[in-house]
A and B are shown apart, each in its own frame.
Chain A
Amino acid sequence: MGVSNTDSDKTQEEEQQDLPKVVLLRPPPAFSLIGEESFASNKFQFLKTYDSQLPLDQFLSTHSHSIKAILSSAGAPVNADILQLLPEVGLVVTTSAGLNHVDIPECRRRGIKIANAGHVYSDDVADLAVGLLIDVLRKVSASDRYVRQGLWADKGNYPHGSKLGGKRTGIVGLGNIGYEVAKRLEAFGCVVSYNSRKKKPYVSYPFYHNVCELAANCDALIICCGLSDETRHMINKPVLSALGKEGFIVNIGRGDIIDEKEMVSCLMRGEIAGAGLDVFENEPNVRKEFFAMDNVVLSPHRAVFTPESLKDLSQLVVGNLEAFLSNKPLLSEYVDNE
């Protein structure tokens, strides 16, 4: 019997090397938080640009023939320059729900499919939005600090908070996350209304055409939309003024949706009552003015960082990649016309 190099004779390593490649431009936070093993598959292999000494464009050019997909996370843009170096790529999968770091028109032009985190995060993000709202209204973190500093015994009761029930809450962006927030707030007796790109035919909440009008008719604004050219600094001085000195704002979208400098001024002058923020314009550098404020709650962009959500994400990412590589429909394909 002759010695021939058939497929069944290949070593495991050689088989691995034959697998289609998925390139990563930066390590996704999920890799370190729940372990890379959760994302492993026998249908593809990861290629990490950040593990190589080569400059990025050289690395990509070298491997371009085998790279079929990109696994992207926020912070490493997938733009025309990158895509140009990867002509074999047919899919961009992101670990986020947001896609502001992906050049969507360029992907469309090249016939590249896009899959995002779909709805795996919606519960956790909605939960955090509600948690931040309760915290800022009821001063939970501030009075927790008060107790820990021993001030309850020394100085007496902490100043009263504000009741959540009956508050008019305005959801900015009634997508999947916004809808989950609305459902929860209703159980607390809040009155929900919203602003979105388009009125949603299947919901009965009052719709406001512009966010300023929404703010004028609310006690609390919850920012649940994605970041785009239209939404950048959408929450600006007129909106904050309309929200008013008894108004609160919660942001679980993106920092750039709010004119942060203006918001800080409003908070310092008492022109809005308080804020709960999971996102900031220049993460992780949070403006120092916030640190002295007891009427803000600060969260380090971690709305999705629970093992439950990240596990669901890993299954979705692997599922999307495997589906793509076997020409099956994607599990969470991003479609433009929402």
Chain B
Amino acid sequence: MHKYLEQQLETHFNLFKLWHCNSSIAEFLKTHQGNTIRAVVGLDKIDLRKCEEKGIRVANTPDVLTDDVADLAIGLILGVLRRICASDEYVRIGKWKDADFGLATKFSGKSVGIVGLGRIGTAIAKRAEAFGCSISYFSRSQKPFANYKFYSNIIDLATSCQILIVACALTEETRHIINREVIDALGPKGILINIGRGAHVDETELVSALLEGRLGGAGLDVYENEPEVPEELLGLGNVVLQPHVGSDTVETSDAMADLVISNLKAHFSNKPLLTPVI
């Protein structure tokens, strides 16, 4: 847990750390009453129906991390296309003295496809536009305010773009939304960026596509079985691997913590939650 959040929680509330207790979760919860608040945006790990049944309030921390995640998406694109991480390694191990590094691929002006044009998808689009990229997207429904080309079919989106970014929420429908068909449509010059959830991508298919050269490269912040990362990826020069750090900046973690505290304070003084989900 983020230190600042932990300090704040301990200052203002009675904090029970589930991961420090020796009894089972059920026993622990029987002896200690309380409501849960999680400091994340993604709600995929929370059984919302059960919470609603039991009258448990749920609040999340939307918006505060939108920028950071969008920034990382662009950082991953540049890391993969411009081979920034690979060339950093090249210099560190002393290879530049022997030979030049070679070519990378230009980012500006390339076609970007976004899966899920929510807050984060929109923030990514805004940034990519500043690089002269053309933007298109796939979403459950067309967004009336968005001035980008809409595809109602993800295969068509993947066929049309060079850089495909997963930015949607994880639900039953979007599990493994990036499958072999989508990857093949993206193709050997295509790049996949995942700043959503590991389960969005059929990881086995992704790995074999990269090994076989059917996909040009990938920038990943999330994986199906974190913190395990498929071993085959560790030696590849056309991938950038991040340890789920999309919102891990000091500033955003502090802001998320503040929002958690504010929600808790509101709840315990019977005021409306600031960012309720249910």
A interface residues, Cβ below 8 angstroms from B: 29, 33-34, 123-124, 126-128, 130-132, 134-135, 138-141, 143-148, 150, 152-153, 156-158, 160-166, 183-184, 186-189, 283-286, 290-291, 297-300, 302, 305-310
Contacts and interface: CB of A to CB of B under 8 A. Distances in A.
B118 to A, nearest CB: 18
Nearest to B249: A163
Interface stretch (B105-113, B142-150, B198-206): B105-113
The dominant DSSP class at the A interface is helix
B105 A300 contact: no
Nearest to B93: A291
Contacts of B242: 140, 143-144, 147
B108 A127 contact: yes
B212 interface: no
Nearest to A33: B103
Contacts of B245: 138-139, 143, 157-158, 160-161
Given A134-B75, A140-B75, 10 more contacts: A124-B108, A131-B78, A141-B79, A146-B243, A150-B234, A161-B250, A162-B250, A162-B251, A184-B130, A188-B67
Contacts of B84: 128, 131-132, 135, 140-141, 297, 299
Given A123-B106, A162-B249, A163-B251, A138 B88 contact: no
B227 A152 contact: yes
B71 interface: yes
A157 B243 contact: yes
Interface string B242-263: 1111001111110000000000
Contacts of B91: 286, 298-300
Contacts of B59: none
B228 interface: yes
A302 B76 contact: no
Given A127-B108, A300-B96, A160 B250 contact: yes
B88 A297 contact: yes
Interface of B: 67-68, 71-72, 74-76, 78-79, 82, 84-85, 87-92, 96-97, 100-109, 126-127, 129-132, 226-229, 234-235, 240-245, 248-253
A146 B229 CA distance: 12
B104 A305 contact: yes
A158 B240 CA distance: 15
A172 to B, nearest CB: 20
A147 B241 contact: yes
Contacts of B107: 127
B78 A130 contact: yes
B132 to A, nearest CB: 7
A302 to B, nearest CB: 6
Contact of A144 (B106, B130, B132, B241): B241
B250 A300 contact: no
B108 A163 contact: no
A155 to B, nearest CB: 10
A29 B103 CA distance: 11
A134 B241 contact: no
Leading 8 A-B pairs by shortest Cβ distance? A131-B78, A187-B130, A134-B75, A123-B108, A163-B251, A308-B106, A298-B91, A163-B249
Query: Which one of B102, B126, B130, B234 has the greatest number of beta carbons of chain A within 10 Å?
Result: B130
A29 B101 CA distance: 11
A298 B227 contact: no
A138 B102 contact: no
Query: Which one of A134, A158, A297 has the greatest number of beta carbons of chain B within 10 Å?
Result: A134
A275 B88 CA distance: 12
Given A158-B243, A286-B96, A145 B89 contact: yes
B101 A153 contact: no
A132 B129 CA distance: 19
B106 A127 contact: yes
Contacts of A141: 79, 84-85, 88-89
A138 B95 CA distance: 25
A28 to B, nearest CB: 12
Contacts of A306: 82, 103-106
Contacts of B78: 127-128, 130-131, 134-135
B82 A123 contact: no
A292 B187 CA distance: 37
Given A130-B78, A131-B75, A140-B75, A183 B130 contact: yes
A275 to B, nearest CB: 12
A21 B75 CA distance: 45
A162 B253 CA distance: 10
